[in-house]
Amino acid sequence: MTSRRDPSLDFAPTGLFNKLLILVGIIGVAVAVLAVIVVIRGGEASAEGAPPVQTAGVTLTEFSIDGDLEISPGPTQLEVHNEGAVVHNLAIEGGPSTPDLNSGESTVLDAGDLAEGTYVIFCAVPGHRDVGMEATLVVSADAQPATGDSQGEEVDWEALDRMMTESISAFPVETEGEGNQLLEPSILPDGTKEFHLTTEITAWEVEPGKIVEAWTYNGTVPGPMIRVDIGDEVRVVLDNKLPMGTDIHWHGIHTPNSMDGVAPLTQTLVKSGETFVYEFTARDAAIGMYHAHHHGQMQVPNGLFGVFIIGDTPIPSGRTISGIEIPDDLEVAQEFPMVLNDAGVIGLSINGKGFPATEAYTGQVGDWIVAHYYNEGLQSHPMHQHQFPQLVFAKDGFPLDQPYWADTVNVAPGERYSVLFQLTDPGVWVWHCHILTHVEREEGMFGMVTAWIVEE
């Protein structure tokens, strides 16, 4: 049987139908192109109607933030340039931030559509905000749109010379408060040496006229120095007057686990208004330190640290090291700790003070000196002495089998180095961290600098 196909079911485009389909396709393409043109033109119209994005130039240096800091409201991007010598970044309080920028690097930070008001901007690298890298970005309808030019006015080179000279000439300046003072114990009937430490927030003069709210042991930064003999029974009574809980970790000191000072693992948190008693035997010689462990990132940089020494660390006398003879009958004229910090409200400092308020050390030609470097900060510090080589004879309180001479000793966070040196020449000799931005800024010398005044 022969079947017949219904032509209406045949979809093959032939003849006139094929031509019509091609025409429809051409019209469709034309419509699509026209739609694209309309969209593009519509976007241009929308962009023309929207407020323009302004670019504000911001410059980062040690330790300041400058540039277009007063701008008009609207969509804003910050063109951030690191013109400093070390890594910096830029963050908006409660908002976005840039990645870390090496020296000479730049980036663009989308700040969004900024309404009128004030915005805090700062460098989030630990310690940098506390030493001046914080500024206010003012958004005001009265301000001119930012230009992106953050270069500012021409540098006044004579003013820079003058400020540096004046800052150095001011040294040393007396300020209120002195840390590292020896804390005398009470001797209990059984011979135990009892010390009392009170934690509280105290007004502390870091630099001349710069008063900060420091977190202190017994009202000073560093806290009082504790020194005991090997074999002593030690009792430390902590009275917490801070607004939050705290504890004390005995860094580099041999203690029972229950006395290690890490709440809540080894003890209960010492809450505000509470007291806690630490008891242990001073078993081994130590160049140790004590500091808060609870919220240490806040409490330690803000001042809760101190020196704890047990016994004496032997000095390598009667030896010749790298051609330099150490007398057999050597007598130490001075021995002292030098505690380094770089963050919190204390900032870049030596023994809780910033230059020119740092202590000036004085001595006589021929004196032998022992110094113990302590780093309670967040960065490493290469400590450099002008003129006097330093014999590094112990690290973290452990005598070195091979002591060595150095003019610069790099001290990492948490480390202690013990050095011996002789004052061989008269004069004023500078002693400082050799990260130069830790000791100098445009306003002059500051921070981690002190000096020896050596007399005949």
What is the domain partition of the chain in residue ranges? 54-139, 186-455
**Across residues 327-343, what is the average pLDDT?**
96
pLDDT over threshold 60, residue 408: yes
pLDDT of residue 147: 63
Q: In one letter, which amino acid is 92?
A: I
In whole angstroms, what is the distance from residue 437 CA to residue 321 CA? 33
**The pLDDT of residue 283:** 96
Strands (E), 83-181: 91-92, 106-114, 117-122, 134-139
Q: Model's pTM, two decimal places?
A: 0.76
54-139 and 186-455 have identical folds: yes
- Point out the least confidently predicted range of 14-28, 310-324, 336-350: 14-28
- Which runs of E-coded beta strand occur in 230-367? 233-240, 249-251, 275-281, 286-291, 305-310, 319-321, 324-326, 332-343, 347-350, 360-364
- pLDDT at res. 37: 38
Most confident of the ranges 54-63, 151-160, 262-271: 262-271
Share of the chain above pLDDT 90, in %: 79
Answer with the residue of higher pLDDT: 305 or 53. Answer: 305
Give the closest residue to 67 by CA, choosing from 2, 121, 5: 121
Residue 38, pLDDT above cutoff 80: no
Question: What confidence score (pLDDT) does residue 52 get?
Answer: 85
| pLDDT cut 70: percent of the chain above it | 88
Task: Single out the residue of 326, 331, 318 nearest to residue 405, CA to CA.
Answer: 326
Q: How confident is the model at residue 400 (pLDDT cuts 50, 70, 90)?
A: very high
CATH number assigned to the domain covering 54-139: 2.60.40.420
Residue of 403, 385, 401 lying closest to 448 (CA atoms): 385
Distance (Å, rounded) from C-alpha 69 to C-alpha 118? 10
- 41, β-bridge pairs: none
Q: Return the SS3 of 117.
A: strand
Q: What's the whole-number mean pLDDT along residues 259-284?
A: 98
For residue 43, what pLDDT is reported?
37
Fold of the 186-455 domain: Immunoglobulin-like (2.60.40)
Please name the residues in contact with 139: beta carbons below 8 A apart, sequence gap of 6 or more.
Answer: 71, 72, 73, 76, 114, 115, 116, 117, 118, 119
Residue 267's Cβ-side half-sphere holds a number of Cα atoms within 13 Å equal to: 22
More confident residue, 85 or 76: 76
Tell me which amino acid residue 49 is.
Answer: G
Q: Which residue has the higher pLDDT, 393 or 9?
A: 393
Q: Tokens 């006139």 appear where?
A: 16
Q: What is the mean pLDDT of residues 103-131?
A: 91
Structure tokens at 391: 């014999």
Based on the number of CB atoms within 10 Å of its own CB, is 431 exposed (0-12), middle (13-18) or buried (19 or more)? Answer: buried
